[in-house]
Structure 1
């Protein structure tokens, strides 16, 4: 299993941003990342300088959102939806997007549920509960 470091993730998103601006060829995952980067122009400044991105501290105590975490969650949710894993997430997403009016807004709601599932898993020292995650998304419909 591939487990990139936070520096790897930051390099990836900065490189996608650079490639996008240079109109370079990208692989499929980079194209998905590019679409999410373009949907978040508020992060473009942080993506311009890879060394500054790596050095930056986005601590929990800070008031600024971590753009790399946010974009990574968009990528994770996109992958989950593409394979309907955990089972039922795609249908829950469709209902939520219909209710909220945009897929992007639905992604942001799902992020809250995903973050809660991960936090609960880490806090309790148990595997992530996919069924509880899907149910949490369904409750938002």
Structure 2
């Protein structure tokens, strides 16, 4: 399993953003990341400055405020990318159909993914808290419930 460091993730997204600006050729995973970057112009300033992004990993300096994780553009974009990849390979089995149904109900893949992020974040939090592996079945169940709720 590929486990990039926090710095690797920041380098990746900043690199994709730079390539988008230069209209450079992108690898397939970069194309997907670029689509999510383009849907989040509020993150472009952070993505434009790799050095600041790497330095921010060390925490706030004097007089600065720590950014809450939910406002972390790198985490947010990583979750979009993870959900897109999960759907592309249908892992856990059934996630593609559940996200497609949620997308149809919300009228937007972007809005649907934001809801799926809540389910994904919950699964990861519960896994960390319990010390057990992530529960893909519970995650899928949460997404399905959102997709079928009135």
Residue 118 of structure 1: how far off its partner (Å): 0.4
Residue in 2 that maps onto 1:136:
142
Please give the alpha-carbon distance, in whole angstroms, between the structure 2 residues aligned to 1:79 and 1:123: 25
Residue in 1 that maps onto 2:30:
30
Alignment of 1:1-141 (within 5 A): 1-57=1-57, 62-63=67-68, 65-141=71-147
Helix, strand or coil: the match of 1:140?
helix
CA shift digits 1:55-106 (9 cap, x unpaired): 11479x6447000000000110000000110011111111111111101100
Runs of 4+ in 1 over 6 A off after TM superposition: none
Q: What RMSD, in angstroms, separates the aligned Cα atoms of the two structures?
A: 1.5
CA shift digits 1:33-52 (9 cap, x unpaired): 00000000000000011000
Please give the alpha-carbon distance, in whole angstroms, between the structure 2 residues aligned to 1:17 and 1:50: 10
Aligned length, in residue pairs:
140
User: TM-score, with normalisation over the residues of structure 2?
Assistant: 0.89
Judged with a 3 Å threshold, the aligned counterparts in structure 2 of structure 1 residues 31 and 110 are, in CA distance, closer, same or farther, namely same
Residue 3 of structure 1: how far off its partner (Å): 1.1
Q: Gaps spanning 5+ residues in structure 1: where?
A: none
Q: Gaps spanning 5+ residues in structure 2: where?
A: 61-65
